[in-house]
């Protein structure tokens, strides 16, 4: 059995501020230590559940947060690291020879615009005000699950705060979830005992691997529609440079395509183009 872990940082126990997620900021070193501990807990659980091969996809920022020598030393464990990589947080699922039986989303966070989710955002925190899939506000959980589903890979497990778990259940149904903190507000959380949350991650991963009833294949409707409210109209102007992208209003653009993997890449391109219009002087 093969598994795939998409690892983000904002949903890890102990993390509540954006500065902790940025290399060169004082809290980053500690954040990365916590990230390795949670990733290793999930790897241990998956190995106990009979998984033989695990691809760990570093999915945060420039994707150079995880270090191979600090992951559990075990044959069959691969770290997909570095930036840029196709399909970003779910990179590699399109490669048939390494295709996993299921995916795990670890350290995930609520969508942009959630009232309470810790460090809520959707892909581009300062570019995407809101992203909607088939008309409904969506976060990285739903967008990435749909990409996995497009390539035939179900999602079996997710971890993060209570708000992203609610989001995952809403989009994906009964996947195995490990709550590792309780959201108070976007920058505040209640952290449980770390030993307890690592144990929960390990046990949830083991259960997810053993129990196919938790594996949920999620597929977007066809043709799919991804609408994005950009932070300002100049970012929507930039998005409109891409042929086929429709301008809906000053800030809103629409991506429509029969192939979800194309729509997903267009969304990433809109984010990259939008970032080129970020105003360095307005505060
Ligand atoms: Zn994220």
Give yes or no: residues 158 and 260 share one domain: no
Asked whether the beta carbons of 6 and 58 are under 8 A apart, the reply is no
Tell me whether residue 121 is one of the annotated catalytic residues: yes
> Per the domain annotation, does 106 fall within a domain?
yes
Asked whether the beta carbons of 253 and 245 are under 8 A apart, the reply is yes
pLDDT value of position 98: 86
CATH number at residue 18: 3.40.50.10780
For 223, the token pair is 């043709």
Give yes or no: residues 23 and 59 share one domain: yes
Give yes or no: residues 101 and 192 share one domain: yes
pLDDT value of position 97: 87
Distance 47 CA to ligand 1 centre (A): 26
> Per the domain annotation, does 270 fall within a domain?
yes
Distance 122 CA to ligand 1 centre (A): 7
pLDDT value of position 175: 97
Asked whether the beta carbons of 235 and 249 are under 8 A apart, the reply is no
Average pLDDT for 110-130: 98
d(CA 224, CA 134): 7
3-class DSSP state of 102: strand
Question: Which residues line ion ligand 1, judged by CB < 5 Å?
Answer: 8
pLDDT in tens, 202-215: 999 999 999 999 99
- Say if pTM beats, i.e. exceeds, 0.85: yes
At 207, which helix (H) or strand (E)?
Answer: helix 194-210
Domain that holds residue 206: 2-125+139-214
Give yes or no: residues 77 and 210 share one domain: yes
> Per the domain annotation, does 71 fall within a domain?
yes
Distance 60 CA to ligand 1 centre (A): 6
Distance 241 CA to ligand 1 centre (A): 26
Q: Which of 167, 184, 214 is the last residue of a domain?
A: 214
Query: What domain count does the chain have?
Result: 2
CATH number at residue 256: 3.30.1360.130
State the catalytic residue, choosing from 121, 150, 214, 257. Answer: 121
pLDDT in tens, 77-115: 999 999 999 999 999 999 988 899 999 999 999 999 999
Give yes or no: residues 151 and 239 share one domain: no
Distance 106 CA to ligand 1 centre (A): 10
Q: Which of 190, 214, 238 is the last residue of a domain?
A: 214
């Amino acid at each position: 059995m093969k598994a795939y872990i998409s690892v983000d940082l904002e949903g890890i126990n102990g993390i509540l501020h954006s500065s902790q997620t940025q290399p060169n900021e004082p809290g980053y070193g500690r954040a990365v230590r916590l990230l390795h501990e949670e990733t290793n807990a999930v790897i241990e659980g998956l190995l106990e559940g009979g998984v033989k091969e695990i691809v760990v996809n570093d999915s945060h920022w420039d994707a150079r947060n995880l270090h191979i020598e600090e992951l559990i030393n075990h044959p069959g464990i691969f770290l997909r690291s570095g930036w840029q990589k196709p399909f970003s947080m779910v990179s590699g699922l399109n490669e048939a020879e390494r295709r996993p039986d299921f995916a795990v989303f670890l350290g995930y966070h609520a969508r942009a615009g959630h009232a309470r989710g810790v460090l809520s955002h959707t892909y581009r925190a300062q570019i995407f005000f809101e992203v909607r899939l088939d008309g409904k506000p969506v976060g990285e959980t739903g967008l990435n699950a749909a990409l996995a589903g497009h390539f035939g890979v179900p999602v079996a497990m997710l971890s993060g705060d209570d708000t992203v778990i609610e989001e995952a259940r809403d989009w994906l149904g009964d996947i195995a979830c490990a709550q590792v903190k309780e959201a108070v507000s976007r920058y505040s959380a209640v952290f449980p005992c770390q030993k307890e949350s690592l144990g929960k991650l390990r046990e949830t991963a083991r259960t997810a691997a053993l129990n196919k009833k938790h594996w949920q294949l999620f597929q977007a409707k066809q043709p799919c529609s991804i609408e994005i409210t950009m932070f300002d109209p100049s970012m929507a102007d930039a998005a409109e440079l891409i042929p086929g992208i429709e301008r809906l209003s000053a800030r809103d653009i629409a991506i429509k395509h029969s192939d979800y993997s194309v729509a997903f890449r267009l969304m990433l391109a809109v984010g990259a183009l939008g970032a080129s219009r970020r105003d360095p002087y307005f505060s």
